[in-house]
């Protein structure tokens, strides 16, 4: 994306601070730096290329120039926002990306907590990062990466889950600025409703594998199978285990894998 496209995409939106970089390490780090300098209010940093883009679980996120959307937001949650709902921030980016993609591709889905899939392959990832000062939430950062052109999809040996791009999956040429604007409109709208039940309902209706048996993988145990029952109020995932027990997992505790019979 070019600087002019970025500027046009954010025109009229309520950003306190904004910046565009042709090349930067990671846009999440830009926002963290702003927050440490005392910046407050909804803000955005975007880049055409990231040289040390980060994914979840310490993975690398690939953002070669001219091929993807890579941006991070400093969220501006209401003072009344209940910290017990922090897990909902995970769904915020995914919901906005999912709804923006619905106008371009058939049935995008959210692989809980926040990967956006098209045809069972990942097109976008979200990296939420919370910064605390003791008990006080200092900053909530939401990094969003969307694969637009085929060049943004990492080589197969670097993938931890099958991936594709919006252009490959839609067969259409995408204007990155327009897609960015559609995502940001959704983010601004859902950020203001993040505490409402309608937020969880909207996120849940997009969930991939809802009601289906999936594999749960975690760092310290063998993979187990369970059925996805839906979302808990705090954004956790309710799973019906094989022994009938209902358990709720939080983002970061488990990874979902479809069973082989699924796509």
Please work out the total of residues on this chain that contact ligand BTN, with binding judged by CB under 6 A.
20
Report in angstroms how near the CB of residue 81 gets to ligand BTN at its nearest. 22
Stretch that binds ligand BTN, among 82-90, 104-112, 137-145, 249-257 (CB under 6 A): 137-145
Distance of alpha carbon 40 from alpha carbon 16, whole angstroms: 8
Rounded to a whole number of angstroms, the minimum distance from the CB of residue 161 to ligand BTN is: 9
**Mode of pairing for the β-strands spanning 43-50 and 18-24:** parallel
Using CB under 6 A, which of 35, 44, 54, 235 touches ligand BTN? 54
CB of 68 to ligand BTN, least distance (A): 8
Backbone angles phi, psi at 122, to 5 degrees: -80, 130
Q: Which is nearer to ligand BTN, 59 or 257 (CB)?
A: 59
Gap between the Cα atoms of 121 and 115, Å rounded: 9
Q: Is 176 in the site for ligand BTN (CB under 6 A)?
A: no
DSSP 154: P
Which residue, 160 or 225, has its beta carbon nearer to ligand BTN? 160
Do the Cβ atoms of 116 and 122 come closer than 8 Å? yes
> Does 53 sit near ligand BTN (CB under 6 A)?
yes
- Give 30 or 226: the residue with its C-beta nearer to ligand BTN: 30
Give the containing element (helix H, strand E) for 10.
helix 3-10
């Amino acid at each position: 994306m070019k600087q002019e496209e970025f500027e046009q995409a954010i025109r009229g939106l309520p950003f306190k601070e904004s910046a565009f970089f042709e090349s930067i390490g990671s846009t999440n780090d830009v926002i963290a730096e702003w927050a440490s300098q005392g910046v407050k209010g909804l803000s955005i940093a975007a880049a055409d290329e990231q040289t040390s883009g980060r994914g979840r679980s310490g993975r690398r996120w690939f953002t070669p120039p001219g091929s993807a959307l890579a941006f991070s937001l400093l969220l501006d949650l209401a003072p009344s926002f209940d910290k017990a709902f922090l897990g909902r921030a995970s769904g915020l980016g995914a919901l906005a990306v999912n709804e923006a993609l619905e106008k371009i591709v058939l049935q995008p889905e959210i692989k809980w907590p926040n990967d956006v899939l098209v045809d069972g392959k990942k097109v976008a990832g979200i990296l939420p990062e919370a910064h605390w000062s003791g008990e006080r939430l200092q900053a909530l950062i939401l990094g969003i990466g969307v694969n637009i052109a085929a060049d943004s999809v990492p080589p197969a040996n670097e993938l931890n889950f099958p991936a594709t791009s919006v252009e490959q999956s839609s067969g259409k040429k995408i204007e990155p600025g327009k897609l960015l604007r559609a995502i940001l409109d959704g983010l601004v709208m859902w950020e203001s409703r993040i505490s409402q039940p309608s937020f969880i309902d909207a996120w849940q209706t997009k969930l991939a594998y809802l009601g289906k048996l999936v594999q749960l993988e975690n760092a310290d145990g063998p993979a187990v199978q369970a059925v996805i029952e839906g979302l808990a109020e705090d954004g956790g995932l309710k799973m019906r285990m094989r022994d009938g027990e209902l358990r709720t997992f939080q983002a970061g505790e488990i990874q979902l894998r479809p069973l082989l019979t699924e796509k």
